[in-house]
Chain A
Amino acid sequence: MDHSSLAGRIFRGVALALVLVFFMFPIVWIFLMSFQSNEQILRIPPHILFEPTLTNYQALISGQLRTTAGNLEISFMRNLVNSFVLSSAAVIMALLLGVPAAYAFARFKFRLGESIAFTLLSFRFAPPLLVLLPLSLYYQQLGLSDTYFGIVWVYQLIALPLILWIVRGYFEDISPDIEHAYRLAGHTWREAFTRIAVPLAGPGIAAAGLLSFIFCWNNFVFALILASADKQPVTVGALAFVTASGIQYGQIAAAIVLSVTPTLLLALYAQRYLVEGLSLGAVKG
């Protein structure tokens, strides 16, 4: 109902603006920082107006970091590629494992089913550091440490529970009768799964995939411990800017902008899917 008075509307506007400024300011500031040199950034008081420079981005892309102490080799672009490779592979693997598992959890009641599902979810509750020490020890034993596969595998701790629980909900929303109808029409359960269940849960699968991609991309701890320099993603690679001669704020800002942009775009894209949900016109509620 729109019974609100003018004062109410003004108050709402102001409150919204405050919240917006509070959360958006750091992002805007980082964006501005990425176009400034370290000296400009460290001026006190800070200036809103400055002469923009692209040196930070140049340094990142060329891999040459000039500091007062001399030239430093950094592999930011390689890190960026690593992030892409690792996150994509992790999501693909999690989808291959997680979607059938989610279907099983949604459709079949079996002994310990709920416990298994919950255990998988609980991986998300445990602080990653807890599992990291034993993990890194037996990764070394198994020869998995510092391999792409090893990192992708450990990323399953992030992606798999997410996909399992989101997609399970979507599968549960599909009336089982739709699949029954398909089977009675002469199709095997495998066909019912691939031609009915998966397409209908499509938006959910896409949303879960995109979300887990973002979470994998943003992961720091696993890669920090388990990956060496040539396999590190951007999150870990950013550490290189903390140099002996000081912290390179400008480059850090530029690196953040570059590494956040893909996930930001993805998030904006996935949001549409998440909200859209499933509108199954064929089943009466």
Chain B
Amino acid sequence: MGMLEIRNVDKVYRSRGKPPVHAVRALDMEVGKGEIVALLGSSGCGKTSTLRMVAGFESVTSGEIALGARQIHDLPPARRKVAMAFEGYSLYPPLTVRENIAFALKAQQLTHSEVSRRVDAIARLVEIEDTLDKYPRSISGGQQQRVSLARALVRDADLYLLDEPMGQLEPQLRAVLRGRIKGLLAERGMTAIFVTHDQTEASALADRIAVMEDGVLQQFASEKELKSRPANLFVASFIGEPPMNLLETEVTAGDGGFQLSVGSDITFHIPGGTLDQHARRTLEQNKRVRVGIRPQKVAVGTGDVQVRVTSNQWLGDQSHVAGECAGNLLIAVAASRIAARPGDVIPFALEPRHLHIFGADGVCIRHAEVV
């Protein structure tokens, strides 16, 4: 049994004079003890509503939420044993940073020295020791966000809820803090759910990522799995940076398999043996299917797909080359600098084994081969 169980939860917002908004639909999720889970999606996908229902700031319209075998969806927030860091920080303005963090420990009846020991430790972790005696309004937004994080993490709680925990952090600090917070959560076996719209943050921190769109959980899996085995077109194109190249192809059977082609410029041969029965049937029944290939899997300088380069950008540690072929934009990521200027025609290699194939309903029927 999971630490947190969300069972068939729906959230509908009704306001007078407007059609009801179905923010979360039939959500089923289970988070194990000590697991770090990201709720990832674009704005309005239902991720924040979900977090707020777990925290108790929103009621569930239907369904159940249980935390460590306790039903919590009817309890007021204070009795749920959850700690939360808010996106807007919500620091108490009349208290110093130290008092803000210590405030979260009030209910726990700790000795004075124990409180200051914990506050100091967490302050060191998020690098706000210098600001402990300042007031929230006199520190920068990034520092305020770190205080808000510290105030949540310093508590003893069954579940830690973090709403966009690192959106405002100074870019130079972000990578280190991610590492430290992940280390802290793992060391103490803390269970955490955080909401983010930034997939870099989600993949950096989370053990598993719940991708949401339109109030529906699209896929709940590890970052690796989301990238190598996306459940559908939405996840495939949403996860990964740069986004997956998508092509509309024409299907013809033959040669003991299928030919997927874009005009006469690109042709993939998919051996029948690499497909399961459902995939074969789908390809037999459809004239056209969408295929996707990650930019990292497109090799530049070899191969038989001729593209006209539209942009070639070196980002210090990798090149992003965009090229046009038969009206499609293809993006390739290479680890080294590529000598090509806009307008040049160069070859790209798109190997059939790297293709994800999607059925008409958007569900992925064949994933790329995993090395």
B residues near A51, Cβ cutoff 8 Å:
none
Per the bound structure, the CA–CA distance linking A3 and B73 in Å amounts to: 11
Residue of B nearest to A1 (CB): B59
B residues 59-77 with Cβ under 8 Å of A? 59, 74, 76
B residues near A1, Cβ cutoff 8 Å:
58-59
A residues near B59, Cβ cutoff 8 Å:
1-3
A residues 1-30 with Cβ under 8 Å of B? 1-3
Residue of A nearest to B58 (CB): A1
Per the bound structure, the CA–CA distance linking A131 and B74 in Å amounts to: 60
A side interface size, CB within 8 A: 3
Residue of B nearest to A2 (CB): B59
Per the bound structure, the CA–CA distance linking A2 and B74 in Å amounts to: 11
Per the bound structure, the CA–CA distance linking A2 and B76 in Å amounts to: 12
Instruction: Report whether over half of chain B's contact residues are helix, strand or loop; otherwise say mixed.
Output: loop
Interface size class on chain B is under 10
B residues near A3, Cβ cutoff 8 Å:
59, 74, 76
Per the bound structure, the CA–CA distance linking A3 and B59 in Å amounts to: 9
Per the bound structure, the CA–CA distance linking A30 and B58 in Å amounts to: 46
Nearest CB in chain B: distance from A213 CB, A: 28
Per the bound structure, the CA–CA distance linking A2 and B61 in Å amounts to: 11
Residue of A nearest to B77 (CB): A1
Nearest CB in chain B: distance from A4 CB, A: 12
Nearest CB in chain A: distance from B269 CB, A: 48
B34-76 interface bits toward A, Cβ cutoff 8 Å, 1 = contact, 0 = none = 0000000000000000000000001100000000000000101
Nearest CB in chain B: distance from A149 CB, A: 46
Nearest CB in chain A: distance from B13 CB, A: 13
Per the bound structure, the CA–CA distance linking A3 and B74 in Å amounts to: 8
Per the bound structure, the CA–CA distance linking A282 and B59 in Å amounts to: 32
Nearest CB in chain A: distance from B54 CB, A: 14
Nearest CB in chain B: distance from A38 CB, A: 46
Nearest CB in chain B: distance from A134 CB, A: 45
A residues near B74, Cβ cutoff 8 Å:
3
B residues near A2, Cβ cutoff 8 Å:
59
Nearest CB in chain B: distance from A222 CB, A: 42
A residues near B76, Cβ cutoff 8 Å:
3
A86-104 interface bits toward B, Cβ cutoff 8 Å, 1 = contact, 0 = none = 0000000000000000000
Nearest CB in chain B: distance from A239 CB, A: 45
Per the bound structure, the CA–CA distance linking A3 and B58 in Å amounts to: 11
Nearest CB in chain A: distance from B87 CB, A: 13
Residue of A nearest to B74 (CB): A3
Nearest CB in chain A: distance from B328 CB, A: 32
Nearest CB in chain B: distance from A3 CB, A: 7
Per the bound structure, the CA–CA distance linking A2 and B60 in Å amounts to: 11
Nearest CB in chain A: distance from B57 CB, A: 8
Per the bound structure, the CA–CA distance linking A2 and B59 in Å amounts to: 8
A residues near B58, Cβ cutoff 8 Å:
1
Per the bound structure, the CA–CA distance linking A226 and B74 in Å amounts to: 65
Nearest CB in chain B: distance from A99 CB, A: 32
In the assembled complex, 6 residue pairs joining A and B whose CB atoms fall closer than 8 Å, in A order, are A1-B58, A1-B59, A2-B59, A3-B59, A3-B74, A3-B76
Binding site for B on A (CB under 8 A): 1-3
The 5 lowest CB-CB distance pairs between A and B, nearest first, are A1-B59, A2-B59, A3-B59, A1-B58, A3-B74
